Amino acid sequence: MNAEPERKFGVVVVGVGRAGSVRMRDLRNPHPSSAFLNLIGFVSRRELGSIDGVQQISLEDALSSQEVEVAYICSESSSHEDYIRQFLNAGKHVLVEYPMTLSLAAAQELWELAEQKGKVLHEEHVELLMEEFAFLKKEVVGKDLLKGSLLFTGQCYVGSQVTSGPLEEERFGFPAFSGISRLTWLVSLFGELSLVSATLEERKEDQYMKMTVCLETEKKSPLSWIEEKGPGLKRNRYLSFHFKSGSLENVPNVGVNKNIFLKDQNIFVQKLLGQFSEKELAAEKKRILHCLGLAEEIQKYCCSRK
């Protein structure tokens, strides 16, 4: 990717919230991967005209334009599936923020469509590019897990507003999907997991939600994953892993996570350039589908007990 690009891929960004704004910034700044990409415009439901000199274009124009070869899908999770399908059918490569879809079947169908069209379908997972994850990966390698837990706390948000659970779920999916980055951490650290049980506690009048999931590794070691959101809860992550050789309680301050969306873009461009092996792509696809399948299983388990 250090070579001078022979051509640039025209890009449109769909959705200009937090992630979309960062994507546009990275596309406009001089980086090795950005040299292979040319930001054509952005698509938004809002009438914005332009942002920092980048023109708004209609979805129809983005789909039909010969200039546009790549779509970055940065909209709400509930809209991802439809946008991915439209852009793949229009012959465009797609980068999408996680979760790709809110069901396993839809993700499998879209991956098949991407393969039929010969296009790259890339699901962003910036949580795997964080310094904390790199630290954990080194810490757990070669160790036998006895038991572990991961708790995430925060507030319910839609846009910049704190809101109640139902509206957030309508736009970003069931907590197992909106919190799939935590599940991805656990699967990436300890391998494929199976569901033992799950509960969802909701107090809508208090804007409070707590999902508790009991999982186990292939060696039957128990792992618990908890998502807790409510007023006054600070965004934080607490973990505890116990091994035969010792314990790990939370992650020390291992530095600032710099340019993680740019690092993800670098991976995407490598895929566009055919620099990922089939083995690497297959392993990534298997992990993503496993996590989406688990998230769906958790949702069904919780909903069957309401």
| Active site residue ranges | 97-98, 124, 127, 181-182
| Spatial separation of the C-alpha atoms in residues 97 and 76, rounded to whole Å | 9
Q: How far apart are CA 166 and CA 200, in angstroms?
A: 13
CB atoms within 10 A of CB 181: 19
H or E segment at 237?
strand 236-243
**39 neighbors 51 (Cβ within 8 angstroms):** no
- Whole-angstrom distance, CA of residue 269 vs CA of residue 6: 13
Spatial separation of the C-alpha atoms in residues 287 and 264, rounded to whole Å: 17
Q: What span, in angstroms and rounded, lies between the C-alpha atoms of 273 and 267?
A: 10
End-to-end CA distance of the chain: 51
Phi and psi, residue 261, nearest 5°: -70, -35
Residue length of the chain: 306
Residues 181 and 175: beta-carbon distance below 8 Å? no
The structure tokens listed for 256 are 């600032």
